[in-house]
Amino acid sequence: MPEINTLLGLQHGYYDYNDLTTQTTPIPVPNTGAWIQLTNDGAGPYTVDTYKPTGDGEIWNTLTNQFDFSGLNYGDRVEIRYDVNIETLGNNGEVIMRAHFGVGSGGDYYRTLAHNHYKNISPAENITVDIGEHISSNIIKDYPAQIEISSDVALNVTVNGWYVRVLKRTF
């Protein structure tokens, strides 16, 4: 009997990029409301790229701290889990995390990943968000994407990692 993914016209694989640097040196986010790009060095002990789709290169660029979907085809899909720890350093704060697609395209596209309010100083609260995105336009396929965070209260961010599942259209 054919594998279920073959019946659906899909092949899949995954990447798991874990960060090492922010485990000891969190990313400081000022209370200015400015968007700060999150980093992930891919050097964490649980980083795995053994099961990426056959013939595909890396999806995460550790030099630019951006996703690169240019090796995918229209009709493919990525499912991404973003996993960070937030430590707020003040009271009554609003924290927003977003995916910024099409960086540099002039047609930037944003997806809010988390929008949280903190009444009190928060010791390392975990935020884990799963989203899916179809490779459906050149803004998503040909331009990088990055993860950004903004806050009106100072905070520190520890990046646990990004898990990326790629579903490749085979027909």
Output the six-digit token pair for 69. 């979907």
User: 12: which strand partners?
Assistant: 167
The model's pTM is 0.91
Q: Which of 59, 9, 1 is nearest to 167 (CA)?
A: 9
58, amino acid identity: E
**Domain layout of the chain by residue ranges:** 4-169
Q: What is the pLDDT along the chain (171 residues), one digit of tens a residue?
A: 344 455 466 688 999 999 999 999 999 999 999 999 999 999 999 999 899 887 778 999 999 999 999 999 999 999 999 999 999 999 989 999 999 999 999 999 999 999 998 888 878 899 999 999 999 999 999 999 999 999 999 999 999 999 999 999 887
149, amino acid identity: I
46, amino acid identity: Y
Distance of alpha carbon 111 from alpha carbon 51, whole angstroms: 27
Q: Which helix (H) or strand (E) holds 141?
A: helix 138-141
Distance of alpha carbon 113 from alpha carbon 81, whole angstroms: 10
Distance of alpha carbon 53 from alpha carbon 56, whole angstroms: 6
Distance of alpha carbon 8 from alpha carbon 106, whole angstroms: 35
Just give the CATH number of 4-169: 2.60.120.1120
Name the DSSP class of 53: P
